[in-house]
Amino acid sequence: MRITTKGRYAVRAVIALARASSEDKPISIKTLSESESISAEFLEQIFFRLRRAGVIQSVRGPGGGFFFSRPLEKITLMEIIDASGEGLCIAESSSDRKARGKSANDSAAHDIWREMDKHVRSFAEKRTVADMVR
C-alpha cells in the first residue's frame, strides 16, 4: 500500500485546519500553507477536491478561507483519502489478476492482501478527524 504525497498532505492539511479552526472565522490557505510548509498552490488543489467531496466549505474575499462542512466526528480518514483522489487499496482488482493469469500461489497471496485491505479500510472508515486531532 502506498499513499502519495497528495494523500498525505490532504490528511495533514485537514488536521491543521481542524486545530486552527474556530466557530466564527474561516482559515486561509496562506495560514495553512505556512503552518504545514506545503505550497499554497498544492493546498488549493487538495482543498478543491475536499470541497467538491463535501468535506469542507469556503468563503471568498477578505477574511475568507476554509471551514468544515460537518462536525469533525462525522468526517472520516477514508473520506479524506478518497476525496484527495488517492484511494486506498492493498489488493489488486480481480480484473488485473485475470489479465496477467493466476497461479495457486498468486491466489493464496491475493487472499492475504484482500484480508489486509479490509482491515486497513475498516481502520480508515472508523477514524474521524476528531480522533486524529485528539
113 found inside a domain: no
22 found inside a domain: yes
40 found inside a domain: yes
C-alpha to C-alpha distance for 23 and 1, rounded to whole angstroms: 36
97 found inside a domain: no
What's the number of domains the chain is made of? Answer: 1
Output the pTM of the full model.
0.82
b/e for 53-76, b at 16 or more Cβ within 10 A? bebbebeeeeeebbbbeeebeebb
pLDDT band at 5 (very low <50, low <70, confident <90, very high): confident
42 found inside a domain: yes
24 found inside a domain: yes
In which domain, by residue range, is 17 found?
A: 5-88+128-133
CATH of the domain at 73: 1.10.10.10
pLDDT in tens, 12-47: 999 999 999 877 789 999 999 999 999 999 999 999
104 found inside a domain: no
pLDDT of 92 reads 61
Give yes or no for residue 90 having a pLDDT over 90.
no
Backbone angles phi, psi at 23, to 5 degrees: -65, -30
119 found inside a domain: no
pLDDT in tens, 60-72: 998 899 999 999 9
Residue 55 carries which DSSP code? S
